[in-house]
């Protein structure tokens, strides 16, 4: 090796040949790996999504992807429409709509906190959320899915629409720890305010965009579930640390609350007009 440095340089052709050879071999390796893992990766992603949805909507057995657009809702399988907001409709074994899940994102302390929240159309409330991805400080930011007092905010977080169906009647707000007064407020975790706010903002931003498009068309979802039975049974077990869902202990047992059901009946007539 040491004598080689004194010898004349390698001709360019040899270098090009070697680099070409190496690049070809490597290219083939990469394509093989990509093709070979594609199905498994897609299945994994779908499974992860279903797990995430099943965790925030207990009792769900199948998930359908939809886009909500100003023109109505359409299944995600038909392509991504312009200005569409993606959401997931979860059905139980019998095909009844159990709830809607959608993604939200808010700027946290370290990075964007991406969450998936469950929306109960009958009561017009958010009934739980799970963390899709975040890089918050362990032991501080991750309280958003371990702190029981914080999770209590999401048993029935009010997101009902205003009378004109254009926006939320009351924007979801994160308030200082201990000062929650209304059903649309989130009591922040003391010491993890920034992450708490990210969750609140994520839900608010997403709900403000999605719900005005979704609510007028809810009947369609109730009436025509795409009966695509999930290949994966609901799994209760937690992931290895990637997806951590907020346990929603009492979200299903909660009796419907009078103020919200009233809001629902108020919407009955405008819903008809808007959907036409």
Using the minimum distance from each CB to another protein, give the nearer residue, 61 or 132. Answer: 132
Query: Per rule CB under 8 A, is residue 235 in the interface with another protein?
Result: no
Rounded CA-CA distance 209/197 in Å is 18
Minimum Å distance from CB 18 to another protein? 5
Token pair, residue 139, equals 């032991």
- Backbone phi, then psi, for 187, in 5-degree steps? -80, 115
Minimum Å distance from CB 238 to another protein? 9
Rounded CA-CA distance 213/73 in Å is 8
208, HSE (Cβ side, Cα atoms, 13 Å) = 12
Using the minimum distance from each CB to another protein, give the nearer residue, 49 or 157. Answer: 49
Minimum Å distance from CB 29 to another protein? 5
Region at 79 (left for phi over 0; alpha for psi -120 to 50; beta for the rest): left
From residue 255, alpha-carbon distances to 53, 155, 184 in Å are: 22, 11, 18
Query: Per rule CB under 8 A, is residue 40 in the interface with another protein?
Result: yes
Please enumerate in sequence order all residues whose Cβ is within 8 A of that of 7, keeping only pairs 6 or more positions apart, or say none.
Answer: none
Of the candidate spans 38-46, 146-154, 161-169, 266-274, the one that interacts with another protein by CB under 8 A turns out to be: 38-46
Q: Report the site for another protein in 83-142 (rule: CB under 8 A).
A: 133, 135, 137-140
Alpha-carbon Rg for the chain, nearest whole angstrom, is 24
Query: Per rule CB under 8 A, is residue 231 in the interface with another protein?
Result: no
Of the candidate spans 8-16, 63-71, 192-200, 226-234, the one that interacts with another protein by CB under 8 A turns out to be: 8-16
Residues 70, 102 contacting (CB under 8 angstroms): no
Minimum Å distance from CB 14 to another protein? 6
Number of residues that bind another protein (CB under 8 A): 36
Query: Per rule CB under 8 A, is residue 5 in the interface with another protein?
Result: yes
Rounded to 5°, angle at Cα 236 from 121 and 221: 25
Using the minimum distance from each CB to another protein, give the nearer residue, 9 or 223. Answer: 9
Query: Per rule CB under 8 A, is residue 240 in the interface with another protein?
Result: yes
**What residues make contact with another protein under the rule CB under 8 A?**
1, 4-5, 9-10, 14-15, 18-19, 21-23, 25-26, 29-30, 33-34, 36-37, 40-41, 44-45, 48, 133, 135, 137-140, 239-243
């Amino acid at each position: 090796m040491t004598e080689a440095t004194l010898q004349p340089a390698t001709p360019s052709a040899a270098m090009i040949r070697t680099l070409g050879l190496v690049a070809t071999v490597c290219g083939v390796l990469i394509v093989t790996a990509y093709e070979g893992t594609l199905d498994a990766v897609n299945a994994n992603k779908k499974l992860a999504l279903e797990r995430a949805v099943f965790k925030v909507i207990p009792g769900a057995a199948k998930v359908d992807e939809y886009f909500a657009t100003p023109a109505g809702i359409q299944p995600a399988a038909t392509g991504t429409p312009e200005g569409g907001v993606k959401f997931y409709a979860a059905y139980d074994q019998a095909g009844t709509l159990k709830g809607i899940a959608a993604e939200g994102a808010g700027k946290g302390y370290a990075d964007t906190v991406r969450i998936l929240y469950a929306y109960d159309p009958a009561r017009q409330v958010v009934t739980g959320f799970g963390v899709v991805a975040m890089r918050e400080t362990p032991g501080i930011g991750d309280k958003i899915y371990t702190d029981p007092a914080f999770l209590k905010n999401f048993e029935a977080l009010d997101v009902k629409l205003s009378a004109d169906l254009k926006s939320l009647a009351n924007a979801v707000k994160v308030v200082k720890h201990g000062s929650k007064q209304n059903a649309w407020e989130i009591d922040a975790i003391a010491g993890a305010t920034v992450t708490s706010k990210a969750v609140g903002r994520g839900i608010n931003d997403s709900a403000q965009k999605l719900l005005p498009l979704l609510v007028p068309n809810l009947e369609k979802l109730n009436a025509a579930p795409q009966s695509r039975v999930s290949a994966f049974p609901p799994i209760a077990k937690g992931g290895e640390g990637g997806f951590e869902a907020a346990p929603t202990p009492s979200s299903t047992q909660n009796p419907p609350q009078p103020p919200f059901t009233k809001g629902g009946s108020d919407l009955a007539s405008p819903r008809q007009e808007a959907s036409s």
